[in-house]
């Protein structure tokens, strides 16, 4: 229900003062309502108001400005936050949503780059301080060969980096045969799982260069093992933070789309025009006054 807010600007302020005076035009600015209309004529507004309402007629009506499509506004903001608000002339909100979009992507990119740099750091640390050859040799020496010979070392590769000296299928077969706390097989070098496992499970403790000659499940892990685990965890934290910002980006699109649709609806309930007439009472009866009605609403 639209309630009246308006005031009337009338060129007919003097109509009621002179019965013989020619009818004038007047302008009413109001929010539409079936309750009260003000003409701006004090005599009419306070003395003859009961006669004003029944005699006002809207004979035509037209939007002062073009309507905005809520669907189009929503789709625009879903694609680019703030675009729908700009389309509906809500420039402040448009700027806020668009600025938030830029800032969120900037934060997401910054933390993703931090994660990449941290990943390079912990992987280089592992390459320099953890050896798959040392791990395999200690495993074979201390656990024996329960199911035969395992040719995990490739002959003639001693001068190569540790990961290039390994027959991975033979190493994995040995790990599976041992059992006990050897609950995982080591994935191939330079994979995500390779770098995760060597800093996560105790069975890989003896591959670190600061490991002692003996180790039993439950013993303290080496300082390098612990340090590496922390550094790898920090990289994951950076990546998780970047993912959070990306999730907020998606939310910003959705919220902006919903807001743009509602903003378009509010825009369409804005200023409208209509023409008609009112019968203004005066001592000689009524004077018909052409009227332009301007109504608005939120």
Among the listed residues 26, 40, 77, the one whose alpha carbon sits nearest the alpha carbon of residue 250: 77
- Whole-number percent of the chain with pLDDT over 70: 67
Average pLDDT rounded to a whole number, residues 276-290: 63
pTM for this structure?
0.67
pLDDT at position 276: 62
Tokens for 220?
């303290």
Among the listed residues 282, 269, 198, the one whose alpha carbon sits nearest the alpha carbon of residue 232: 198
Among 127-131, 161-165, 237-241, 285-289, where is mean pLDDT lowest? 285-289
Residues 6+ apart with CB under 8 A from 137: none
Phi, psi of 99 (to 5 degrees): -65, -40
Predicted confidence (pLDDT) at residue 45 exceeds the cutoff of 70: no
Give the Å distances, CA to CA, from 175 to 27, 103, 145, 182, 236: 92, 49, 10, 6, 28
Predicted confidence (pLDDT) at residue 32 exceeds the cutoff of 50: no
Phi, psi of 198 (to 5 degrees): -70, -15
Among the listed residues 268, 249, 135, the one whose alpha carbon sits nearest the alpha carbon of residue 202: 135
Model confidence pLDDT, tens digit, residues 137-173: 999 988 866 556 889 999 999 999 999 999 999 999 9
pLDDT at position 179: 80
Phi, psi of 57 (to 5 degrees): -130, 130
Residues 6+ apart with CB under 8 A from 251: none
Predicted confidence (pLDDT) at residue 62 exceeds the cutoff of 70: no
pLDDT at position 34: 42
Mean pLDDT of the chain: 79
- In DSSP terms, 272 is beta-bridged to 63, 295
Rounded distance, CA 287 to CA 19, Å? Answer: 8
Average pLDDT rounded to a whole number, residues 103-114: 98
Question: 3-state SS of the chain: helix, strand, coil percent to 5?
Answer: 50, 15, 35
Average pLDDT rounded to a whole number, residues 125-145: 91
Average pLDDT rounded to a whole number, residues 61-88: 86
CA 35 to chain centre: 44
Among the listed residues 230, 214, 189, the one whose alpha carbon sits nearest the alpha carbon of residue 138: 214
Give the Å distances, CA to CA, from 160 to 138, 154, 157: 19, 10, 5
Among 47-61, 111-125, 139-153, where is mean pLDDT lowest? 47-61
Predicted confidence (pLDDT) at residue 222 exceeds the cutoff of 70: yes
Predicted confidence (pLDDT) at residue 108 exceeds the cutoff of 90: yes
Predicted confidence (pLDDT) at residue 247 exceeds the cutoff of 80: yes
Average pLDDT rounded to a whole number, residues 28-42: 48
pLDDT bucket at 181, cuts 50 / 70 / 90: confident
Residues 6+ apart with CB under 8 A from 52: 37, 39, 44, 278, 279, 280
Order of strands, sheet of 285-295, starting from the edge strand that comes earlier in the sequence: 7-10, 26-30, 285-295, 272-282, 57-63
Among 210-219, 235-244, 263-272, where is mean pLDDT lowest? 263-272
pLDDT at position 9: 33
Average pLDDT rounded to a whole number, residues 113-139: 97
Among the listed residues 65, 30, 4, 50, the one whose alpha carbon sits nearest the alpha carbon of residue 276: 30
pLDDT bucket at 27, cuts 50 / 70 / 90: very low
pLDDT at position 251: 97
Average pLDDT rounded to a whole number, residues 231-245: 97
Between 288 and 152, the higher pLDDT residue: 152
Whether residue 63 contacts residue 34, with contact meaning beta carbons closer than 8 Å, is answered with no
């Amino acid at each position: 229900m639209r309630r009246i807010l308006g005031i009337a600007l009338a060129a007919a302020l003097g109509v009621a003062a002179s019965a013989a005076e020619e009818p004038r035009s007047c302008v009413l600015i109001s929010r539409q309502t079936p309750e009260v209309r003000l003409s701006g004529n004090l005599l009419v507004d306070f003395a003859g108001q009961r006669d004003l309402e029944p005699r006002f007629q809207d004979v035509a009506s037209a939007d002062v400005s073009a309507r905005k499509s809520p669907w189009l506004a929503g789709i625009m903001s879903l694609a680019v936050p703030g675009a729908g608000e700009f389309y509906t002339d809500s420039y402040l909100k448009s700027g806020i949503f668009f600025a938030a979009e830029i800032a969120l992507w900037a934060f997401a990119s910054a933390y993703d780059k931090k994660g990449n740099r941290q990943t390079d750091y912990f992987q280089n640390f592992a390459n320099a301080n953890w050896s798959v050859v040392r791990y395999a040799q200690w495993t074979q020496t201390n656990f024996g060969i329960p199911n035969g010979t395992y040719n995990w070392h490739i002959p003639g590769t001693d001068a190569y980096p540790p990961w290039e000296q390994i027959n991975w299928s033979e190493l994995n077969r040995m790990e599976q045969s041992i059992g006990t706390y050897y609950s995982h097989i080591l994935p191939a070098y330079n994979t995500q799982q390779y770098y995760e496992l060597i800093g996560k499970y105790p069975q890989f403790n003896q591959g670190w260069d600061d490991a002692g000659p003996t180790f039993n499940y439950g013993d303290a892990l080496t300082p390098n093992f612990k340090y590496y685990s922390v550094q790898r965890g920090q990289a994951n934290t950076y990546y998780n933070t970047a993912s959070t910002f990306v999730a907020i980006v998606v939310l910003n699109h959705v919220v902006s789309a919903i807001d743009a649709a509602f903003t378009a609806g509010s825009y369409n309930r804005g200023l409208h025009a209509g023409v008609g007439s009112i019968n203004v009472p005066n001592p000689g009866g009524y004077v018909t006054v052409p009227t332009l009605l301007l109504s608005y609403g939120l």
